[in-house]
Chain A
Amino acid sequence: MLCDDCKKKPASIYYKDVSGGQIKELRLCEDCARKKGLLNDKKLSPVEVLQKMLKTTSHDDEKIICPVCFLSLAEFKKIGRFGCSNCLSVFEPYIKTLIKEVQESEKHIGRKAKSGGRRAIEVFKLREELRRALEKEAYEDAGQIRDKLKTLGVENV
């Protein structure tokens, strides 16, 4: 028996609607039943969508490599994780659809990063320099680094 709707594919779903006081019977194929929202498919979670999307690979994936962390697109597709903040812009042309499918969106409209002095990063660098200066017994350099640290507001140099 063919589908009551498209009249092309064989009907595999029998549907009985008893709403509105009338009994309506339909024999539908899977596609038409889905179109009518009669099939309650389990929606995939973003992680499941990601796993599915990562399976689409191409021979060129090996050649597309992030110049900062050296992660290749092929490796990204194996693990599903970026190696550094630069990977996204390198892989972007190839994973646009993937992101759109996973996130059901393709544009960030939320809060933005505010730029700042990155003081903590600077302090870390200076502390490393200080350690090296002290190892080499370069006390004059060490003094200068301590002063820099103090201007950055670090009390326990």
Chain B
Amino acid sequence: MFDNIKWLISPEFRQQCEESEIIVSTRLRVARNIEGIPFEIKMKQTDAEKLVQVVKSATEMNLKGKYLLLQKVKGLERESLFESHLISSAIVRKEQPTGVFISEKGNITIMVNEEDHLRIQGLSCGLNLTNLASEVYEVEEILGQELGYAFNENYGFITSCPTNLGTGLRASVLFHLPGLVYTNEIDKILKSTLNLGMTVRGLYGEGSEIKGNLFQISNQHTLGFKEDELIEKINKFARMLIDVEKKARDVIMSRARNELEDKIYRSMAILCSARVISSDEVLNLLSAVRLGIGLGMIKDIDVNVLNEIMLVTRPGNIQLFYGEIFEEQERDVKRAEYIRSKLTKKNSN
């Protein structure tokens, strides 16, 4: 089962991405519904069974990858799929039949019977919206021909909730912004995102806390624009944010270089030597090390190794990684052991 998230630590995913130390990852999802099948609030058990089956055959006939019926996936494995951003918390909570398709390359997933019939999503490291969009829409088109999407001339693709009408598109970029946090500029920046029609969330989307200086920024509206325009708008915004984050880092370096260096090297030392560590502490320490890489202080560690640690050390994933169920305390020990093995190797790349 750990195979399902292996792609995130596979060489293909570990490509060198531009500004990958400030931009952790990019995500894009489109919501689609099938004409003739009731939506979530009116869906009966038999409708859900039909939905899961038709999407299964549509994917089998056209796409390479695996289709999992979530009810048959064990609790821990479901948690791992969630922690790896392959499925949402909403779908995990559902009692009706639900499914998830994971493409062979692992970068495209389709949630079946979430709030909408289909949530087709693409995930990539760094800032990669344009390429990701073309891959997502290739899948979207193929499935559209097989299934027939609910569409309205005025309001575009019909979704369960009016907040997703039109394009059904949500593009998110996960930023690492310690510079703006330490200089207390982050609130000002985040306020301005709202005026630009964008919203800010934590690492695990809606309702999740901000941890490890990680901010997920995505578009708020889905109606009244062309998909390419939105992607260009977010690209521009991301480049602007990279710029202000770099400037904030320069300010800290000129004003408090010693304190910052101390924080970074101490964080590195804790990660390399801790024997018991919680997943939230890991996120905060990783943020400092990530900053150290960005500032050129830490040279022998690749950002992708940090991404891998961030993913594998989540509570569910660490248990799957070792193939055993651990109590919380034992998990903290195993997590520390895993991190030491990743960071103290001679060639950590």
Asked if A118 contacts B147 (CB within 8 A), the reply is yes
Asked if B165 contacts A99 (CB within 8 A), the reply is yes
B254 interface residue (CB < 8 Å to A): no
B305 interface residue (CB < 8 Å to A): no
Interface residues of chain B: helix, strand, loop or mixed (majority): mixed
Q: How far is the CA of A104 from the CA of B223 in the complex (A)?
A: 8
Asked if A108 contacts B156 (CB within 8 A), the reply is yes
**Can you name the residue of chain B whose Cβ is closest to the Cβ of A79?**
B41
Q: How far is the CA of A106 from the CA of B74 in the complex (A)?
A: 43
B347 interface residue (CB < 8 Å to A): no
Asked if B149 contacts A113 (CB within 8 A), the reply is yes
B191 interface residue (CB < 8 Å to A): yes
Q: How far is the CA of A95 from the CA of B163 in the complex (A)?
A: 13
Asked if B33 contacts A85 (CB within 8 A), the reply is yes
Least Cβ–Cβ distance between B114 and chain A, in angstroms: 13
Interface residues of chain A: helix, strand, loop or mixed (majority): loop
A22 interface residue (CB < 8 Å to B): no
Asked if B161 contacts A121 (CB within 8 A), the reply is no
Interface size class on chain B is 35 or more
B287 interface residue (CB < 8 Å to A): no
B50 interface residue (CB < 8 Å to A): yes
Stretch of A3-11, A13-21, A42-50, A57-65 that contacts chain B: A42-50
B175 interface residue (CB < 8 Å to A): no
Asked if B36 contacts A108 (CB within 8 A), the reply is no
**Can you name the residue of chain B whose Cβ is closest to the Cβ of A119?**
B146
Tell me which residues across on chain A come within 8 A of B146, comparing CB atoms. Answer: 116-121
**Can you name the residue of chain A whose Cβ is closest to the Cβ of B141?**
A114
Partner of B144 from A40, A98, A109, A113 at Cβ < 8 Å: A113
**Can you name the residue of chain B whose Cβ is closest to the Cβ of A89?**
B152
Partner of B42 from A40, A71, A106, A110 at Cβ < 8 Å: A71
Asked if A83 contacts B42 (CB within 8 A), the reply is yes
Asked if B36 contacts A121 (CB within 8 A), the reply is yes
Known: A103-B222, A113-B148, A115-B145. 9 other contacts (CB 8 A): A40-B191, A69-B42, A83-B41, A106-B154, A108-B152, A111-B167, A111-B226, A113-B149, A118-B147
10 A-B pairs with the lowest CB-CB distances in the bound complex, closest first = A105-B224, A116-B145, A108-B156, A85-B150, A120-B58, A113-B151, A83-B42, A103-B223, A120-B146, A110-B167
